[in-house]
Structures are given as C-alpha cells and as structure tokens.
Amino acid sequence: MFKHYFEQVHNVEIWPIISLSIFFVFFVGLLVYVLRIKKDHISHMSAMPLNEDDPENDLTSSR
Amino acid sequence: MELEHFKYDNKIVKYFAIATVVFGLVGMLVGLIIATQLFLPQLNLGIPYTTFGRIRPLHTNAVIFAFVGNAMFAGVYYSMQRLLKARMFSDMLSWIHFWGWQLIIVAAAITLPLGLTTSKEYAELEWPIDIAITLIWVVFGINMIGTILKRRERHMYVAIWFYIATFVTVAVLHVVNSFEIPVTAFKSYSWYAGVQDALVQWWYGHNAVAFFLTTPFLGLMYYYLPKAANRPVYSYKLSIIHFWSLIFIYIWAGPHHLLYTSLPNWAQSLGTVFSIMLIAPSWGGMLNGLLTLRGAWDRVREDPVLKFMVVAVTAYGMATLEGPLLSIKNVNAIAHFTDWIIAHVHVGGLGWNGFMTFGMLYWLIPKMWGTKLYSTKMANVHFWIGTLGIIVYALPLYTAGVVQSLMWKNFNAEGFLEYPNFLETVTQIVPMYMMRALGGLLYLSGAIIMVVNLVKTAKQGSFMAEEAAEAPALEKKKVVGGHWHSALERKPVIFTVLTLVAILIGGVIEMVPTFLIKSNIPTIESVKPYTPLELHGRDIYIREGCNNCHTQMVRPFRSETVRYKGEYSKAGEFVYDHPFLWGSKRTGPDLHRVGGAYNNVWHYNHMLDPTSTSPGSIMPPYPWLYENQIDPGLTAGKIKALRTVGVPYEEGYEDVANQDLKAQATEIVTDLKSFDVEIPETAEIVALIAYLQRLGTDIKAEPTANK
C-alpha cells in the first residue's frame, strides 16, 4: 500500500535516500562537533546559570 | 572593559507568577469538577455552561495555556534576563504580552462555556481569539529576540535555545492549525477536511505537548535545577545533543495519535518510528537533569525545591518512555480511546509541568522577595500530598483504561461480544473515576497549601521590583574561530532560522504527500455533503462538545465492527467534514455508525434523559436542546463558507437550502408525532437527530463503494 501511494510521485526512489542522508549527516555532524568541543568552553557554558549573581545583589546569601 | 549598570525587571516575573498561581487553581478546580461529573453528571446543575462537553476544553485550555503558559513566561522572563545579562528588550512589550495573554485567557473562559469552539483539541478557541494569540505570541517573540540581540553575554546558554525553539515552533503550529473560514463573529469551519484536518490537528496537538509543555520546561530545568542544586548541569555536551535531536525528531511523531484510524498507513508508521526514536533524546534530557544532582542527593532530603524538581524530572522520564510505548500499534490498540491516555497525560501534566512549576515558584518567590521560604514544613506537606495525589489520580485510571479496553474486545466462546452493551464497560469503571477525583482533590489541596506558604513568604520579605546588575558590554569586535556550534551560540538569528528548518522538515514530509497525492484519500462516490439541517445539527454537536466523549472512528478491529454494526471508517467518508470529529476518547460509545441504529424517538428520549433509554448512563441530559431554536438565517452563510473550502454545494444552493431544511425537519417531526411527541420543527434537537441519523450511513447505502 505504501508503495502504491508513492509510485505516483516522480522519482520517488530518491526520497528515502535523501531523508536517510539528512539524518545521517545531521547526527554524525552533531556528534563530531560535540566530541571535539573544547573543555574550557563547555565549563564556561555550563557555569552560566551559577555565575550571574553579583555578590552584592545576592540577598539570600546564595543557596 | 567598562562595566555597564542596568536593572533586571522582576515586576513582570511577579505578575506572571501570580497569574500562574491564580489560573493554576482555577484550571485544577475545573478539572476536579469535570472529574466528579463523570460519576455525578448532575453536578452540571442542569445548565449548558457547566456541562462536561463544554468545560472539559475549559480545563485543558486553562491548565495548558493559563497555568503552564504563565509559569513558562514567569520562568523565561526571570532566567533570560540573567542568562543574557540584560533587561528585557522593551518593558512595554513585556506588559502588552502579560495583559494580552491574560485577556486571551479570560476570552477563553467566557467563550468555551458558551459553546463557541472549533472542536479541535487544545485549539478550541474561535478565530478572533486565534488572531489575538498570534499577535501576542509575536510580541513575546520580538521581546525575546530583542533581548537576545542586546545581550551582554556572548554565548547563549542551552535554556535560551529551548526558549527560541518554543517560540518558533508554537508560532508555526498555531498558524497552520488555525486556518479556518469564518462564518459568524464566533463561528468558523476548519480549512482542512477529514483525514487532512486530523493530520494537521494532531501534528499540532502532539507538538503543543512538545513545544508548549516540554521544550520551555526543559529550558527551565536547565536553568533552575543547576540553580537550586548550586552545581552546573551534569553534561553540557549532552544538552547540545538533547536539544537538536529533540526538536528534530519530535515534530514527526504527531500521527501516533491516529493509529488504526483512516489516516494513510505510511503516515501512521512514520509516527510510530519517530515516537520510538524520541526515547533517546527524552531520556538523555531526563538523565542530564537527574545526574546534575550527583553528589548532592543529601540536599534533596532537605530542600523542597529539589524534591519537586526530582519528581518532576522523574515524571518526565516516565511519561516519555510511556509515550513511545503507546505509539507501538499493538499497545495503542488497547490504550487508545481509554482512560489510560488520560492517566498518561496527567503523569506529564501533574508530575512534570506541575511539580516543575511548584519547584520553580518555591525558589523564585523567596529570591525576589529577599527572604527565606515561610515554611519548609508546609512545602514538604505540599510535596507529599501532591505526590500522593498524582499516584491516586493515575493508578485507578491506568486500571480503568485496561479494564475497559479488554471488556470492549472480549468475545465469548460462542463468538459474540461478552459485553455488547457499552454501558456495562462504563459502570465497571465508575469506582475508579471516583478514586481519580480524590487524587485530583489531593493535588489541588497541595496547591492551596503552596499558595498560603508563598503569600506568607512574600509578606515577610520585601519585593525588589528592580534588581541592579552590572556587566561589561558585549564587544563589537568580530569573534572568529571556535566550532560551528559555539559560533551558532553567538548568532541568534541564524540559530533561530536553523531551528525553524529543523522543525519544518518533519512537518513538510508528513503533510505534503497527504495533501498532494490524491490516492491517499480514496473518494467514495456515495459520500455526499451534509444537508442544511444536518449542518445545523453538526454545529450543535460541536457546540456541546460531544466529541469530548464520543469518537467517530470505527477502527479496523472485529471487536469494533461487530460492536458498532458496520464497516470500519474509511478515509473517503470524511471528505466533507470541516472540521473532522474523530475524537480521542470514548467515555461513551463510538458514533460513526450510529445513523439508523436507533429510531428518532430513541434519540429524542435519550438526549432528554439518557438514563431513560440507557439505565446507569453517566451522560448528562440536554434539556435546552428542546427549547432552543436553530436560526435558519445562518444556513446560507454556512453553505457559502463550506463551498469556499471545497464542499461541492451547487452555486445558488444557499438560496433554496432552507426549503430542504424545512422538508427534512418536517419528516423527523412527523415521525416523532407518531410516537406522541410534539416538538417544533426548528427545535435544536431535530437538527441534532438529523445529523446523528446521517452519521456513517453514506456507505451503508452503497455497498459497492469504491474502496
């Protein structure tokens, strides 16, 4: 049934190949980037919610 | 570098927080009322405005858009200013956003009980309110992007990405799903019909869960959880993968709401596959949240904020495992249309959204009022009563769902349905409805305790509307190098566009074939547009929210074709259904083959007092349908509007339509008279009977339908 619907689309064979490529490239690219990311950048980013308070603003003497 | 001095706007956060609490209580209360109506239908007091079908959408809209929505805005306005080291872009936009959103909520609270609804779940609000939502959402977006552009922090923290994705995607979803043709000031028909309408609706509905209830709250999790635990998120790398894979995959999963329906099979399979893939990013995010607490678990014992957040994240994990499992077709065959789904969404709603909001409020209020929480003990009581509430809510409904579904499907040794009377399967689970209401009551009680605690906290502190801060201005010099993602984190506009592309790919691939390839919806020659009287009846069906309890979708199971005495529903049968009315829950039986199943007087008596024809029924009576009259003056407008969206009424038919309307009404009234029932031809019940008697009969008339 699946095939029947799509046979009417011109050049339908290319669609799944494109989809697979999009996914493959996307996730491999993401993985490669994440693995190569520099450590100091990561620690800078992850500390962001914690660094924002100036001590003088901090009324609750921080949790 | 020179330090710039500026002030954070806490007042807007305070207002959104107050709105969160107020509408949270209202939304939960309405939920408790409808939960009670399921075993005590008289609780509607016999008036239309408080009847289940009208106020169930009020409950869902209130908790989603008013409670969770305001909580999201409170959390976003607080965290965004601090993460970007900048005041919000424009105070005026902030306040337009706040008051605009509250006005929309009030408009919803008025129109929904009045029965002004599109019938599409979580998108029930009629077209003028849809336009208002669009405008206010754009205001929120401008304010957010503006703040990002004037930030003093070069990189955008992961929470901000989630906020951007929320803004972009909700905008796309809302606009696409709200295409409708106005008939009157508060009545419209969906632009799409039948299968296509269903696909668009559940692409929207599923992603409303994804991008209104999930992504903004993940953003909040990535900010407030590290804040409360006072340690950075477990893995920032994981959060990058979490973000991109979540938004890339989530958008495809909508069709899992339509398994075994008339939606083309390939689209159903697509929904299943992507739903299962979703486990990975969802659990990545959950683990990232929980592992943030590594080495700090002792604090969870003492700090109510962390307690709430741990249960919230755990509930997120449970709901996002359960969701993919429910998307597997054979699990879905049992769970769909039952209370299992209600339990599932409430684990997410009460656990994830509710507890995350509570945790955030317990953290925010003392912080902004410069004091400590009034009573940790009360917060702990709230925590336990709330947790207990979730359990007492969900467990009976899981049981109810499975019990009822198995009863629906049970055949005896002779090959007949063991429970041919639908009502038997309802009375069986009424005790579980009672327990569920108790769970809701516990949860609401906990929320009330929180309100007292927060008010007392605020009273003992002093609110700081403007919080001074300082940070160096962002240097204008061009930063080069770094990996592409850290470059992306510096370029909010490109980031936003990429997010948009990521979510559009899935939506386009799902929808374009369904709309363009004709064979996806095989037409059936005998299926004809509704008659004028049936159209009026259908609009009454929509007004009363019948679709909240009754489906119009006989799935291709023997247990259903036998129970509902007809063929399973075909895609081609719905081509004139603007909007589709398949429903998502069977509190009552399916109605797609109800046409001709009972005589007119049965419907007449049933709607007047359901227990007279169906003893033990939990359906409320609809006495007002016998007093209210339809307005034939609207017929022409309805027909013209439907013709515009593609229903083949002949040109000029609107001028003579009321003759057909009268003829059909006379026929029904005459038939009723033979049973000693007197009713005017224009009474609403006559139109409703006409519609119900039409349902699903088109292909009964023509057995050689082209399948």
Does the CB of A44 have a partner CB in chain B at under 8 Å? yes
| Per-residue pLDDT, A37 | 87
Does pLDDT of B693 surpass 70? yes
Does the CB of A25 have a partner CB in chain B at under 8 Å? no
Q: Where are the domains of chain A?
A: 20-48
For B16-64, the pLDDT digits (tens) are 999 999 999 999 999 999 999 999 999 999 999 999 999 999 999 999 9
Q: Are B592 and B663 in contact (CB under 8 A)?
A: no
Structure tokens of B102? 């509250």
Average pLDDT, chain B: 93
| Per-residue pLDDT, B89 | 95
- Residue in chain B lying closest to A49 (CA): B223
Closest by CA to B135, choosing from B93, B107, B193, B196, is B93
With a CB cutoff of 8 Å and minimum separation 6, the contacts of B49 are: B55, B113, B114
B606 carries a ligand binding annotation? no
Does pLDDT of B704 surpass 60? no
- Pairwise CA distance, residues B439 & B354, whole Å: 14
Query: What dotted CATH number matches B532-701?
Result: 1.10.760.10
Any idea which of A19-28, B230-239, B590-599 has the lowest mean pLDDT?
Answer: A19-28
- Give Cα separations from B701 to B526, B694, B696, B697, B704 (angstroms): 8, 11, 10, 6, 9
The answer to whether the Cβ–Cβ distance between A31 and B269 falls below 8 Å is no
The answer to whether the Cβ–Cβ distance between B155 and A45 falls below 8 Å is yes
| Per-residue pLDDT, B262 | 85
* Confidence category of residue B251, pLDDT binned at 50, 70, 90: confident
B257 carries a ligand binding annotation? yes
Percent of chain B past pLDDT 90, that is, above it, reads: 84
- Residue in chain A lying closest to B153 (CA): A48
Q: From the CA of B344, how many Å to the nearest CA of chain A? A: 30
For B614-623, the pLDDT digits (tens) are 999 999 999 9
Tell me the DSSP string of B652-690: THHHHHHHHHHHHHHHHHHHHHTTT----TTBHHHHHHH
Does pLDDT of B479 surpass 70? no
* Confidence category of residue B703, pLDDT binned at 50, 70, 90: very low
Q: What global pTM score does this model have?
A: 0.92
Does pLDDT of B573 surpass 50? yes
The answer to whether the Cβ–Cβ distance between A50 and B505 falls below 8 Å is no
| Per-residue pLDDT, B35 | 97
Which has the higher per-residue pLDDT, B210 or B519?
Answer: B210
For B607-661, the pLDDT digits (tens) are 999 999 999 999 999 999 999 999 999 999 999 999 999 999 999 999 999 999 9
- Residue in chain A lying closest to B246 (CA): A27
The answer to whether the Cβ–Cβ distance between A49 and B153 falls below 8 Å is no
Assigned superfamily of B3-474+497-510: Cytochrome c oxidase-like, subunit I domain (1.20.210.10)
- Pairwise CA distance, residues B423 & B122, whole Å: 28
* Confidence category of residue B705, pLDDT binned at 50, 70, 90: very low
Does the CB of B265 have a partner CB in chain A at under 8 Å? yes
Does the CB of B311 have a partner CB in chain A at under 8 Å? no
For B128-148, the pLDDT digits (tens) are 999 999 999 999 999 999 999
Closest by CA to B101, choosing from B137, B145, B141, is B137
B536 carries a ligand binding annotation? no
Please report where in the chains the tokens 């002093």 appear, as a residue: B462
Q: Where are the domains of chain B?
A: 3-474+497-510, 532-701
Does pLDDT of B508 surpass 90? no
Q: Are B349 and B274 in contact (CB under 8 A)?
A: no
B59 carries a ligand binding annotation? yes
